[in-house]
Structure 1
Amino acid sequence: MPRIGGIAKVTYLISDYNLAKSYYGDFLGFDFVFAYDSPQGKVVSYKVNDRQFLEFIEDKNAKNKDRFLGVTFETENIEKMQTYLQSKGVTILQQITVDEAGNKILRIVDPSGVPLEFIEWGTQSLHRVTKGKFLSKRRISHRIHHVGLYSDKLEDNPEFYTSILGFKTFLRVPEDKAKTPEIIYFQIPGTAQFIEHYPTNTRDFSHPCFVANDLQEVLYILEERQKDETLAAPVVGKGRRWLLNLTNADGTRIEFTEMFLAK
């Protein structure tokens, strides 16, 4: 199958572009990079690093909708990817198009109805020509570690992600296969990035998780920046790592995780 790269973008509806600026820009410290048009409306883009972005489309009723518009994975040859996915019977939401930022885009949907996207970066796309720029020293993290995705059911080897997309089980809690899984991480092939499946009854679960080298320092920084944003207490997750889960004013979730086991 064609090579799948890492997590390129996570896209959400947001009730107000000013919320994107205050929360993801001022509070979390990511730089606004550019805006471009899409069939769903204007997209505003914030940079995590040169290959990872957070993007938002304004919808005044976002609080009452499924705000998660999808996660985007890199691919080197989007035409081969489309042919491959069609040969596997994958539902194509939108065949290959060139977006207004100058990238080739292919949209599909997973068996739980979660929208996924593949992107082949355009050499002169807005995302590419800003390489090395808009990398604020204020950004609270430099990398998306994983994306949690809503799933109708928790499976050890879901055909779509393992057999078709080639993801590998990286972490299963508990390890004992005779017991029902409580959480599963699937590694994106050839990367140190993951998707997470966790038992949940809400599509609001879908979220990006950022690497925190020092979660306590993250808390100190966010406490200093805090205006009307809500903070939460850190917890030790099922994978025995410190986690911090936050939500913006729309109820959209983000997460931070340390890379080593809690002691």
Structure 2
Amino acid sequence: MPSQRRMRVFGLLVVLTVVITLYMTRSARQTRNSDFYLRTQEALQSREYQEAAKQRDEADVHSRLKAAEEAAKKSADEKGQKFFDSVGSGGSGVEKPIGGRYLMKEQDGDEKKVVQGVATVGGRPRDKVANKEPESDEDHEVEVELNAILKKSPIIIFSKTYCPHSKKAKHILLDKYRIVPAPYVVELDEHPLGLKLQEKLADSTGRKTVPNILILGRSIGGGDQIQELDETDKLIDTVKSMASARVIEAERRRIQSEMRRRRV
């Protein structure tokens, strides 16, 4: 049998264990009921709620952005399809594309007058014309260069330095008139892509020779046509009507002698 001493030690350990357990249980209960513990729990719960709400908001925003992007893409596709459908059916005053460009129609009295022009928007088309081979790298280079030239000014003069008709057209547009922005001159005989540019202009505008004067990408003719517009006092009206707000000023220059005579 165990001795009395061992029994007392064992009983003492049991009492200590019970006392310690009761103390810790009471301390834990007091801790859970304390203001600090309650505030800490509330703060943690509030933070968890805020994080969950933030995640829900981000997911909702992402969903709305994705839906808006898909709607915009669908709308753009529908508009593009309508445009090409109108091009294919001959509607909206646009004829079939030529070399990646379109012939625009204008009303001239009761008759429709075809005004030939080139596109002013860059970019490489997939095909030149339906059922034909895609354009070559050289054709694409010419296309990009032509579009870059058309952005230089509302009025472009395609010329050659030795051509007398080109000199006449440049004299009228640059010397006899003050046009802002000034017409931009391209000397095809000095341009590295001059020959290809002239071929592209022939395909797009139907005019194979120089000068070839374009207003917003539409050809108004050469030297004889410019001279006729000048002599009939129709040049300024033609420039303003075709260039619209792109031309800030267009007026005939006054000769100094005329100015002196008027002062007298």
Range of TM-score over shorter length: under 0.3
Higher strand share: 1
Higher helix share: 2
The TM-score normalised by the length of structure 1 is 0.23
The TM-score normalised by the length of structure 2 is 0.23
